[in-house]
Each structure stands twice: as structure tokens, then as C-alpha cells.
Structure 1
């Protein structure tokens, strides 16, 4: 489908109405391509990223940050880390700075926090972390007895202006009861968010912002002897060497849109060729036609290689300008020589620019070799 046909006259061998039909078909195809281009642009502007999940091997992962709050007066009475050393389990007290207590006098809320030190890592040695809580009030029906737990990644830094950060902060919330033992298991998740940039629409590899979080579960059961003034919680990772990575990926960009438009253009060209046949071959491109220096060198080379132009004047195609009229006053031998020269030039032109004769040359060479072998 050559857009230049919109500005050309009809072929001398075709009726004029066929040119009108070609132009109408081409306009309809171009209008369809323009509409499709608009749809592609809208898809890029309204593109919502998808999440690709992968798993990365790590040497160890940090314990989570646990925040306990309740109207009950409580505190972390003991925190123990269990290590596997030489086929034996050894208990080590948590560092004093790993736990803290706080009382909100305004809201009458007691808070306890576990924030592990940087050197505390779940690996092949650290098996579990256990915390014991003391409840300093008697459990009654009039006063709520629940203890609220919020857990999040130790490296998470809250951005209160981000709705995603707020969702991370509240996605691991549980309600605990005194007199129970709980097993808190978790896995680490790193969300890689695309930083906003105009270059993202064009398919340029984006820069990412990492947001660590955890995915957790909590199982509970009664303590022995139903001690309502105690509570126990064990912290264990689901895996000590795997971290889930959720990466945002753009599915629509202008670069991918170019591929779609190219495919649509190819389909339109195929439809046009199916209806009206293929276009004439154009062996010369922009470089040979317009580039400085190359066009002049190309034309000069053609004048040398093809001194007898193999086609009569297309600008003035009347019979009076046909080559035979130019040869009428020449001797017959000269006419034959010029005609043979034009035929040779025409064959050379067809071989160089129209027909790939390499396959035919191979057949001719094989036939010649077979003939020589028989002789």
C-alpha cells in the first residue's frame, strides 16, 4: 500500500474508476489505522501495571517488628532466642533494647513492642523467638480482654502520605487472648514499585522503589493449666532462605504500541494487495534518492552501467516518442545493435533490481556441469 498513489494519475492500462476505488479503499484503511493508533495511545495512558512474582535466595531474614496494644495492663516478661548449636538447642535472652513498654495516658492504652536488633537473623542457627507476657489485671466480663497485634517488616519505614504504606501497616493485624499460646509464622515480601516518570510510557526501563513487608499467619491454643494471667507467642519464619519479590511491570508502552501499529499496517497492506495486487517495485530508497552525495553517485553509476535506458519516456508516452521511431532512419544493422543493447540493459536492470536470479543461475550451472560430465 503506497500512500503516493493518492497523488498519482491512473495507470494507462487500467480504467479511471479503478483509481477512485483504490483511493477510497486506501482512505478507509488509513482511517482504521488512525483509530487503532488512538486506541493504542489511550491504552498506554491508562495502563495499570501487573505484578510479576519471583523468589530470591537469601542467607537469612530478619524477624518482624511486633506491636502489642491493649487496655489491659500487660508487659513482655521474658524474650528468648532459640539457637541450634552442635546438635543442641541453646536459649539466649533477647537484648534488653529489643523490647520496650509504653503507656498512653491520654487513651489509657498499654503498648509493648518487639523490635529486633540488626544482628538478630533467622538462619540455619536461629530456630525461633519466644516471648512471654504477664497480664497484671484480672479478666472480667466488663472489661475487654483482647490484646491487639500489628506486625510488619523490620526494615519498613512508614510513609503516612502513601496509601500503599498504610495498607502494609494494617495487613498483619490480629487479636490475641490471655491464657493462650500462639505461633506466629511469616514470610518476607519485597514489593518493587515503579517510580513515576514520563519515560515509563515510552518503554524505558523504569527505576524501582522497594517496599518490604511480610505475609503472616497466626495459630493459637490454650496454655497449660489455663493461666489467664500469662500469654506466649512463638515467632518462626516459613523459610529462612527465600524472599518473595513482587515487581510492577508495565504491559502497554509506546514502544510496544509501535509493534502493534506495524502489525496493523502490514495487515492493511496485505488487504490492499489482496484487492488490487502488489505495488510496483521501488528498488531505490531515501538514501539513493535524497541523501546528499549518494543520490548523485547512484545516478552517475546508473548512466555508466545502463547507457541505454530500457524504458521509453514515461513523461511523454505518446507513440511518436517510442524507441522504434528513433531508430527508423538508422541502418538495419545499427537498429539491431541498439535493440540488442537495450535488451542487455533491460536484462541487467531486471537482474539487479527486480528478479533474484541467483537460484536460476544455480540451476543453469548444474545443467552445464552435467552436460560437461556427459561429454
Structure 2
């Protein structure tokens, strides 16, 4: 519309200076729009999704726990408190029976199959939600660890992970996965009573494909992971006269019964950019009309087809 007006309707009757100003203005506006298009394209290519949080109330599955150390150790006992009866139960059947040597480390694994439906529930006195379903809800899981290597300074590492199976279809950022592992790996020393309060998050990571780039509902990879808050105490060992220098205690429980859903969202897509581009084009037309009006500028006398007209 602008080019047609400049070159067809106005070019025969306007003064040359006005006509040149029209052309220069149009070129400047077109260059600005071109720069804007390039900027939109770069934003789409380099877009980093933002994360929005939502919350649901549910109990987390009993996590998987991996104990590993360069020193010899044994998980002497495993007990948990059930939310229905409030009694301690032996859970040694869910730990590996012997040390597993892999490289420099000895390993002991604790795992309850996710399909069993065991949950970590808040430590409240009247919590009987799972009694009617026949499922266990654990308040606290406790481990007693014995160290055998007294000639060195033994220590033990514990890695806690979510027990829900995850089948990744795409390559997820290794930095994110490594940060989860590092955050939930802690060190235990002899004569320490370590209490870990767990929370649960579910990260919905966008799978890069044409739907996400266009701005349609994207496909997600679902990654549940745990957060931890650690409290360490030596009070139990200070009050006991027995020699407990080769022992350590490790306890886990739920910090709260709220799961945080972290959903990635793209802020720059093709559909949203088309709306911005339409707005920029409309702004350019308005700017042009404000400068030159709706009609052609013409002198008092002008010649059209060899005839002088007023």
C-alpha cells in the first residue's frame, strides 16, 4: 500500500523533494522492520524457557538410597515407622545383602519397588490415609551404619534419588541431572546422627521440536527429583557412655506433602512473533501517515497529461 501510493498515485504530482523524503522514510521504516525481524528470529533460536511453578498435595514415594565408601562398612539395621500402627518394622529385606565393590567404592543399595506404593508421609499422630487402601505410609526410615576401618578416617557417602522410573526419550541437559545428583549426595561421618528432610519436585522439560518452536502445546520429558534439608547432631553419642566411635545413624522423613511441578515455557515462538511483527508493521504505517498524511502533496499548479490544472 505504501509503495503503491508513493510510486503510482503521488509520484506525478508531488514536488521532487517531498517525493524523495517519502522514499527515504519508507526505506528507513523497512530497514527498522527488517532489523526487528532479525531480532525476533534470533530470540526464537536462542530462547531459554522460563519455569513456572504449580503445587499439588501428594505423598512422595519412598526414595532409593545408595550408600558407598572407600572404607569397609555395613548397614547393620534398617527400620521404618508405619503411619498406620506407629510401630517400627524391619526393612532389611530392601537393602542389598552384601557389599558390592565397584572401582574404589563399596556399595549398599536400599530400594523399594515403586509399584509397591510405599509412601513417605508427614509425621502426624492421626495420619491413617493409607489404612483403607492397604498401602504403607512411612513416617521415618532409619539406618544404623557400622564402620570397620579404624586405622583411617572413614566416611560414607549417601546418594538419595526418586524411585519413580524415568525413561528419557531425548538428551536432557547433563548439567541439570548432575546438579540433582550432587545436591542429594551427602557425607556421613562416624559418631554423627544425620536427619534428612525430603521434598519432591517434578520437572517438565520441553522436548525441542517444531511444535515447541511454533508455539503449540509442547511435548515434555517428566523428571521427578528430590530436594533435601539436612540436620546433623552428635547429641546421642555424647550422652551415651558406650563406645560408639564406629557407628553412624542416618534417618530420612518427609519435610512436607506438597509436590512442586516445575513446567518449562517458551517465551519466544513463531506465533507470538507474528503478532509482534504485525504490530510493528502497523506502527510503521501509522508513523508514515503521521508524517505525510493521507493525501499527496501538490503545488498550486501542476501538469498532468500536458494540461495545467489548479
For the aligned pair, the TM-score class normalised by the smaller chain equals 0.7 to 0.9
Equivalent residues of 1:101, 1:111 under 8 A apart: no
* Alpha-carbon shift at residue 49 of structure 1 (Å): 1.3
Q: Deviation string for 1:314-347 (max 9, x for gaps)?
A: x989699xxxxxxxxxxxxxxxxxxxxxxxxxxx
Cα drift, residue 128 of structure 1: 2.3
Superposed CA deviations along residues 161-204 of structure 1, whole A, max 9, x for unmatched, are: 65143433333111101222111111111111111213322112
Q: What count of residue pairs does the alignment treat as equivalent? A: 279
In structure 2, C-alpha distance between the alignment counterparts of 1:149 and 1:279, rounded to whole Å: 79
Aligned counterpart, 2:2: 2
| 1:88-127 residue CA offsets vs partner (Å, 9 max, x unmatched) | 622222261x211443456453222211243311234435
1:110 is matched with 106
Q: CA deviation at 1:82?
A: 1.1
Contact 2:145 2:249 in 1 (8 A): no
Q: In 1, distance between residues paired with 2:167 and 2:271?
A: 35
Tell me the residue number matched to 1:120: 118
Q: Give the structure with the higher percent helix.
A: 1
Partner SS, residue 238 of structure 1? strand
1:55-79 per-residue CA deviation (whole Å, 9 max, x = no partner) reads 1222x21121111111332222222
Rate the CA distance shift 1:106–1:244 in 2: closer, same or farther, 3 A.
Answer: closer
Is 2:141 the counterpart of 1:130?
A: yes
Structure 1 moving runs of 4+ over 6 Å: 158-161, 315-320
**TM-score, normalised with respect to structure 1:** 0.67
Cα deviation for residue 250 of structure 1 reads 0.7
Say which one has the larger Rg. 1
The SS at the match of 1:179 is coil
**TM-score, structure 2 as length reference:** 0.79
Which residue among 170, 182, 188 is the counterpart of 1:170?
182
Of 162-171 and 189-198, more deviation after overlay is shown by 162-171
- Residue 264 of structure 1 is matched in structure 2 by 280
Cα 1:243–1:106 shift into 2, 3 Å = closer
How far does residue 81 in structure 1 lie from its aligned partner after superposition?
A: 1.9
Structure 1 residue ranges without an equivalent (≥5): 281-314, 321-375
Cα offsets for 1:120-163 (capped at 9, x unmatched): 112344352333324252533xx231101111111254879651
Q: Which runs of 5+ in 2 are unaligned?
A: 122-126, 129-136, 297-303
Distance 1:64 1:270, change over 3 A: same
Q: How does 1:1-375 map to 2 (within 5 A)?
A: 2-10=2-10, 14-58=14-58, 60-85=59-84, 89-94=86-91, 96=93, 98-105=94-101, 107=103, 109-117=105-113, 118-123=116-121, 124-125=127-128, 126-137=137-148, 139-140=150-151, 143-157=152-166, 162=172, 163=174, 164-222=176-234, 223-224=236-237, 225=240, 227-240=244-257, 242-278=258-294
